[in-house]
Amino acid sequence: MDDLFDSRRHIKIDGIYNLRDIGGYRTRDNRRTRWRAFFRSDSPHRLTPEAQATLLSHGIKTVVDFRDYSHKSQWEYRLGENAAARYVHLDLLGERLLADWLALEEQNGGRLLGNQVKTLTAMYRRTIDERQEQIAATMSALARPGAMPAMVHCVVGKDRTGLVSALSLGLVGVPEETIAQDYALSGRCLVESYHTYIKPPGLTPATYTWEHYQRDFCPPEVMLSTLDHIIKTYGGVAEYLLTAGVTEQQLNTLRRALVE
């Protein structure tokens, strides 16, 4: 398998933790996903104007925000007065599914360490099944002329962002194992912010590392299970996206944009 944590993949900018490039992944037909075409990230609301300029220097033309309306209003941001980037807000979960997600977390023991896997597996599958209109709108926004390079993000860049990134990689033929490992890289990127903002009691960076975070919050088997659901239920990623309402022309546009 490729070295997923390529030095070009994790883009470090002060105020943002999980900004990553999905370029460089090998596809089944032995091509590579295009560098600097598709960025996945946590919310950029902490960025200073200088950091915003650094982010935009990567040529980003479209920003798709998957956060719910509450987080969007609480953590507003503007990527510069004269930025060329087009902003698109698509609440990927919606109020009902978000409420169900929080209720399921509580049922499964809350956000205590080790209790997330069952919740994530169930809710990723429900998001795929129940939010097809929003996923189709996302892909349509990314397929419009001049949309790339693009950045998609939610709050921490792991769940909603992880699903759309997985669909994008799956569309161009990146193997499921690689997609799942890309998803799991959030463990490396987010553990610092976990200690900075969540401050879990009794845990320190020395005792709770990125490996622990990955095990508890983004293990690859969760994404593998989600992809397996897509294959068994819909026939594959492309078939799923067509079912959701994305056109064949849009899929081909995305394939050309995402693969070298």
Neighbours of 141 (CB within 10 A): 18
> Which residue is listed with tokens 């087009």?
86
Phi/psi of residue 250, nearest 5 degrees: -65, -40
Dist. CA 260–CA 172, nearest whole Å: 11
pLDDT at 111: 57
Dist. CA 25–CA 183, nearest whole Å: 13
Dist. CA 142–CA 151, nearest whole Å: 9
Give me the residues of the chain with pLDDT under 70, please: 1-6, 80-82, 108-115
Question: 26: helix, coil or strand?
Answer: strand
Beta bridge partners of 153: 41, 65
- 20-258 folds as Protein-Tyrosine Phosphatase; Chain A (3.90.190)
Q: Report cis status (omega within 30 of 0) of the bond before 149.
A: yes
pLDDT at 1: 40
pLDDT at 109: 57
Beta bridge partners of 152: 40, 64
CA-derived radius of gyration, the chain: 17
Kindly tell me the burial class for residue 108, based on how many C-beta atoms sit within 10 Å of its own C-beta (0-12, 13-18, 19 or more): middle
Interval 176-198: pLDDT, tens: 999 999 999 999 999 998 998 88
Dihedral of the alpha carbons of 164, 167, 168, 169, in degrees to the nearest 10: 120
**DSSP notation for 171-206:** HTT--HHHHHHHHHTHHHHHHHHIIIII--TT--TT
Q: Which amino acid is at 171?
A: L
> Which residue is listed with tokens 């944590």?
5
Neighbours of 79 (CB within 10 A): 19
pLDDT at 114: 58
Dist. CA 16–CA 36, nearest whole Å: 17
